[in-house]
Structure 1
Amino acid sequence: MGSFPSILTNVPLYWPKAEFSLFVLGQILSIPCYFFVAYHIIFEKSARKALHNHVIIILLFYNFLGVTFDLSLTLDRDRVGYVSLFSPTLCRFWQLVDNGIWYG
């Protein structure tokens, strides 16, 4: 339509699959880390009673939602090119996780 060159002209053909694989690997490796940190904060009595750890627990919960739900749907959309599991309820929940948690 326009005469602008494509942004992806210098990107090798293997790069989108490599990028997707690196993101998925990082996502898979981060999930046990979330469980490990949450387990030690919740089940260690002195850490659980410390008031400053309550904020950490809330942040862990919100970021875990972001990594497991938002990042998974975003990676799938980037891989396929469209939202494959489209439903109004899913889109509303995705908007809540993506925007509602961070912006109030």
Structure 2
Amino acid sequence: MQLNPQQNISDNHTIPENPNVLGIPISIKFNILLGVHVPSFICYVFIIVYILTHKNLRSAPNNYSLLFLLILQFFGNAINIPLLLYFYKCGRVLFNNIVFCYIWIFLDRNIWSICIMLVAWASFERHILVFYRHFFRTKWKNICLHYAPPFIIIIYYVCYFLYVNIFYPCERSFDFQSPLCGPPCYVFNTIIMWWEIIWIQFKTKIRPATIRPTPPEMFVT
């Protein structure tokens, strides 16, 4: 594995002009990001606490995957947004270190991919709960169709992104003046990218489910 981090980082804190970053001035993006995500953190905490403190919502089977989703998105925002705010403020990543870049890339891509897949699974599970509720009449089916899928999704994406971001054999180049230290090297592999495109197309075509209590008769433990 060859590492070739780009070390041309200036010591000043001026923000470089980068027309490739969505064509929006970085100062405007900083203010928008800060203004939107501060209230979002409050909403995340309120919703998670509200669900956990209300038994009918907490025990509803259709909210099981969505609770995973809310918690992961909360931690994803708590990690990623401050790092992006620092980047937009200073024009560089927080630490000019390849280990930091590996961790940031892994967490960012991993958390958001898991969240997208959890939304897809929650929608599919809602369909089963509404039209095929008899599938959940036995303990084994509950484990296979209800409790296990979120863990399988998490384990799959953790293993996948560990491989493509860390162990995949390619020449890595890190740009400390780009978000996420620049694109990962595996994006130049046609097979891997087609695999991700297929999964993204599959997941985004499934309508997200919403949080609401499910009648007790739809779920038997």
TM-score (norm 1): 0.74
CA shift, 1:88, in A, is 5.0
CA shift, 1:68, in A, is 1.3
CA contact under 8 A between 1:70 and 1:98: conserved in structure 2?
A: yes
Please give the residue correspondences for 1:38-53 in structure 2 after superposition, counting only pairs within 5 Å.
38-53=48-63
Please give the residue correspondences for 1:17-32 in structure 2 after superposition, counting only pairs within 5 Å.
17-32=27-42
Instruction: Single out whichever of 17-26 and 36-45 deviates more from structure 2.
Output: 17-26
Give the one of 97, 102, 105 matched to 1:92.
102
CA contact under 8 A between 1:65 and 1:97: conserved in structure 2?
A: no
CA contact under 8 A between 1:77 and 1:84: conserved in structure 2?
A: yes
Aligned residues: percent identity? 23
Q: What CA RMSD, in Å, does the superposition of the two structures yield over aligned residues?
A: 2.5
Structure 1 residue ranges, 4+ long, deviating more than 2 angstroms after superposition: 15-19, 84-93
TM-score (norm 2): 0.38
In the alignment, the residues of structure 1 paired with residue 37 and residue 51 of structure 2 have an alpha-carbon distance, to the nearest angstrom, of 21
Give the one of 56, 63, 66 matched to 1:56.
66
How many residue pairs end up in the alignment?
95
CA-to-aligned-CA distance 1:57-83 (integer Å, 9 cap, x gap): 111111112211112212211321211
Cα gap change, 1:18 to 1:86, in 2 (>3 Å): same
In the alignment, the residues of structure 2 paired with residue 43 and residue 89 of structure 1 have an alpha-carbon distance, to the nearest angstrom, of 39
Letter in 1 for 2:47: V
CA-to-aligned-CA distance 1:18-45 (integer Å, 9 cap, x gap): 3311210111110110011101111101
Residue 139 of structure 2 corresponds to none
Residue 129 of structure 2 corresponds to none
Higher relative CO (Cα under 8 Å, sequence separation at least 6) belongs to: 2
CA shift, 1:89, in A, is 4.9
Instruction: Return the index of the structure with the highest Cα Rg.
Output: 2
